[in-house]
Homo-oligomer: A and B are copies of this chain.
């Protein structure tokens, strides 16, 4: 049923443009869910002196939490933009594949950061983590701007205020992450704290943005 209507539409137009976004979202949700859940595989604990080990392993829990929440926020926002989109084309699908590629990459630099909090490797680890999130934010904007360009993939009844609200709120993302990343060149620890702070900021901002939307109704 989910497919009969859109496929009938696409039978009329003879292309994929009108296809439902349901499946793209299902695939994306799968990658979001798996990337987030795989983070736990990087949480380890040496068996001897379990107590001290678990205490000393706090960076891996912190890294798990920050990355899980970061991926969670990306998912919430992906959810938000797809409330405005009801068409896809193959170029859009490929942009989404690249976006998901960067999301699925997050567990690796997360592990690096957790693993090097106490040694000089933290600088490189923080740069790897930061550039991954910067790339993710760039691809995220690319995804949105491709869809919003001339509104060609947006719902006909997409509220212009909501659309421009999304545009305004996503544009700074790459610059914020890039700035936090470059801080690692001088102060890796500060950079890592900034990544956590950005996650908290976006959580709050997301809630506020949700309210703004409600107000704008």
Contacts and interface: CB of A to CB of B under 8 A. Distances in A.
Interface of A: 1-8, 10-11, 13-17, 19-27, 29-41, 43, 45, 47, 50-51, 54, 64-65, 68-69, 72-73, 75-76, 79-80, 82-84, 86, 89-91, 93-94, 97-98, 100-101, 104-105, 107-108, 112, 115-116, 121, 124-125, 128, 155, 157-159, 161-162, 203, 206-207, 209-210, 213-214, 216-217
Given A26-B29, A33-B31, A50-B112, A19 B83 contact: yes
Contact of A1 (B4, B94, B209): B4
Given A7-B155, A27-B32, A43-B108, A15 B50 contact: no
Nearest to A52: B124
Q: Chain A binding site: helix, strand, loop or mixed by DSSP?
A: helix
A143 B206 CA distance: 17
Contacts of A79: 16, 19, 23-24, 93
Contacts of A108: 40, 43, 45
Contacts of A83: 7, 10, 16, 19
Contact of A6 (B1, B6, B35, B51): B1
